Structure 1
Amino acid sequence: MLAGFGPALLGAAPGGSGETVSLAGSGPGQRLDVTLVQVVDPATPADPQGPAPDASTRLLAVRFRLENTGTAVYKDSPAPAAHLLDTAGKRFSGLNSPTTAGNSFPDTVTLSPGGSAEGFVTFRLPQDATAAAVQFALNGGLADDVGQWSLP
């Protein structure tokens, strides 16, 4: 990548939910159709003994549908592949923290060509932060193609 040039932002969807973006990975045959299905804000931790937000933070859960449209097996961790941006320009990394919103992705998802999976990625952000967009990229978030969905 040349200095000053970032990854390509694809599929900047104004409404977010339901929009599908086709993303390529960095390896041959790596391609996923990624759909933002649902946003739950605030989200409640599923395990009362697990990491919970404190008085200054909250959890937000985003449900994605991943469909392997490539020719290679997709094996990756969806949580670190996702990022949330707030209106102040701060970026938050995805977590594998289960919430009552629904099933989280496992630590590693493996999809043969034509396979699909759905699950939540959780974000911890300040109480007063306004979520603006969510991003997803293959290869642990390091691929050049980055899908972005605007949040209402």
Structure 2
Amino acid sequence: MRIHHAAAAVTSAAMLAALTGCFGPSEVTTEPNKPAAKAADEAKAPAEKKAAKVAAVGDTITLTGHDEGLKVDATLKQWLDPAKSADQYIQPQDGKRWVAAQFELVNTGTAVYDDSPSNGTQVADADGQRFHSGYGEISAGPLMTSAAKVPPGDKVLGWIVYEVPKDSKITKVQFGLDSGFANQTGQWAVK
């Protein structure tokens, strides 16, 4: 009996450690990757204090996950506000509208990217309210898959839809790996 209790205690301790974030501190990254040519030019230039650029539509942020070798270049390709429904019968609820982010996720690591991308994303408005992804077919194009299994070197592309209040001014889009539980989250400014 003592062996079973000891094993249960070790298992419980490991689960608690995982749930309390023992993977390291959380980080929100707002600075986009630099193109190779620009990075080389900056390396040659004298060291100056420059304001960091804030990622926007079209920019890529490299993100890592909990698994060794899990690394993805996430690009916010397009932003729609409002997003129009592709189905006359499925519409936003009264007093709300749809907005949508098109992400391209390129697996630049050595591990398979296996996740539901929409679980790891949210938008924020100017008042600080945050909204998770929802469901809605939009006329702009195909939705992001709900079960991405992307081998190294491959990519996935699709729209993620959010239902937000009609008067809400959305200013930020966030995306993270591991269904949003990775320590690193990318953030893009939108208008």
Question: What TM-score, normalized by structure 1, do the two folds share?
Answer: 0.91
2:159 counterpart of 1:140: no
Residue by residue, what CA displacement relative to the aligned partner does 1:34-74 show, whole Å, maximum 9, x if unpaired?
A: 00110011111222233x21331000010011000010001
Report 1 or 2 for greater relative contact order, CA contacts < 8 Å, sequence distance ≥ 6: 1
Which one has a larger percent strand, Structure 1 or Structure 2? Answer: 1
Alignment of 1:63-142 (within 5 A): 63-142=102-181
**How many angstroms apart in 1 are the aligned matches of 2:69 and 2:56?**
26
Corresponding position: 1:43 with 2:62: no
The code of the aligned residue for 2:28 comes to L
Query: Any gaps of 5 or more consecutive residues in structure 1?
Result: none
Tell me the distance in 2 between the aligned counterparts of 1:15 and 1:27. 25
Partner Cα separation in structure 1 for residue 166 and residue 158 of structure 2: 24
The one-letter amino acid of 1:129's match is S
CA contact (8 A) 2:107 2:113 kept: yes
- Residue 96 of structure 1 and its aligned partner are, at CA, apart by 4.0
Q: CA RMSD in A?
A: 1.7
1:33 aligned onto 2:52:
no
Which TM-score applies when normalising by structure 2? 0.73
Partner amino acid, structure 2, of 1:125: V
Paired-residue identity, %: 33
1:130-149 Cα offsets, whole Å, 9 max, x none, are: 00100000011111100000
Distance 1:128 1:11 in 2: 25
- Aligned-partner Cα distance in 1 for 2:111–2:25: 25
Q: Which runs of 5+ in 2 are unaligned?
A: 1-20, 33-53
Q: Could you say if the C-alpha distance between residues 6 and 55 of structure 1 is closer, same or farther in structure 2, counting changes exceeding 3 Å?
A: farther
Following TM superposition, the consecutive aligned residue runs of length 4 or more in structure 1 with deviations greater than 3 angstroms are 12-15
Q: Which AA in structure 2 matches 1:7?
A: S
Aligned residues: 149
Q: CA deviation at 1:118?
A: 1.0
Corresponding residue for residue 28 of structure 2: 9
More helix by share: 2
Counterparts of 1:11 and 1:72 in 2: how far apart (Å)?
A: 24
AA paired with 1:119? Answer: G
Following superposition, the deviation at residue 78 of structure 1 comes to: 1.1
The structure whose Rg is larger is 2
